[in-house]
Amino acid sequence: MNAKILLVEDELALARLIQDNLIEEGFLVEHSPNGEAALKRFFDWEPDLVILDVMMPRKNGFKVATTIRDTDRKTPIIFLTAKIKATDVVKGFQAGGNDYIRKPFAMAELLVRIQALLQQDRLLDQPALTEETRFELGRFTFDSKRMRLVDKAGKLQKLTTREAELLQLLCQNRNHLVTKSSILLKVWGDDSFFNSRSLDVFISRLRKYLKAEPSVNLVNLRGVGYKLVTD
Q: Is there a contact between 46 and 148 (Cβ–Cβ < 8 Å)?
A: no
d(CA 186, CA 79): 22
Across 153-161, average pLDDT:
92
With a cut of 50, say whether residue 132 has pLDDT above it: yes
Q: What is the pLDDT of residues 91-130, one digit of tens each?
A: 888 888 988 888 889 999 899 889 888 886 554 444 444 4
Give the C-alpha distances (Å, rounded to integers) separating 4 from 19, 22, 26, 201.
Answer: 12, 10, 10, 35
Q: For position 129, what pLDDT does the model report?
A: 41
- Higher-confidence position of 72 and 1: 72
In this structure, the chain runs to a length of 231
Local confidence band at 84 (pLDDT 50, 70, 90 cut-offs) = low
Q: Is there a contact between 43 and 189 (Cβ–Cβ < 8 Å)?
A: yes
Across 60-83, average pLDDT:
90
Q: For position 93, what pLDDT does the model report?
A: 83
d(CA 93, CA 99): 8
Across 158-182, average pLDDT:
91
Across 127-153, average pLDDT:
84
Across 13-37, average pLDDT:
95
Q: For position 224, what pLDDT does the model report?
A: 83
Residue 23, φ and ψ in degrees, nearest 5: -65, -40
- For residue 127, say if its preceding peptide bond is cis, omega within 30 degrees of 0: yes
Q: For position 128, what pLDDT does the model report?
A: 41
- Higher-confidence position of 222 and 5: 5
Q: For position 131, what pLDDT does the model report?
A: 64
Q: Is there a contact between 76 and 121 (Cβ–Cβ < 8 Å)?
A: yes
Across 12-34, average pLDDT:
96
R_g of the chain computed on alpha carbons = 20
Q: What is the pLDDT of residues 186-207, one digit of tens each?
A: 898 887 888 888 999 999 999 9
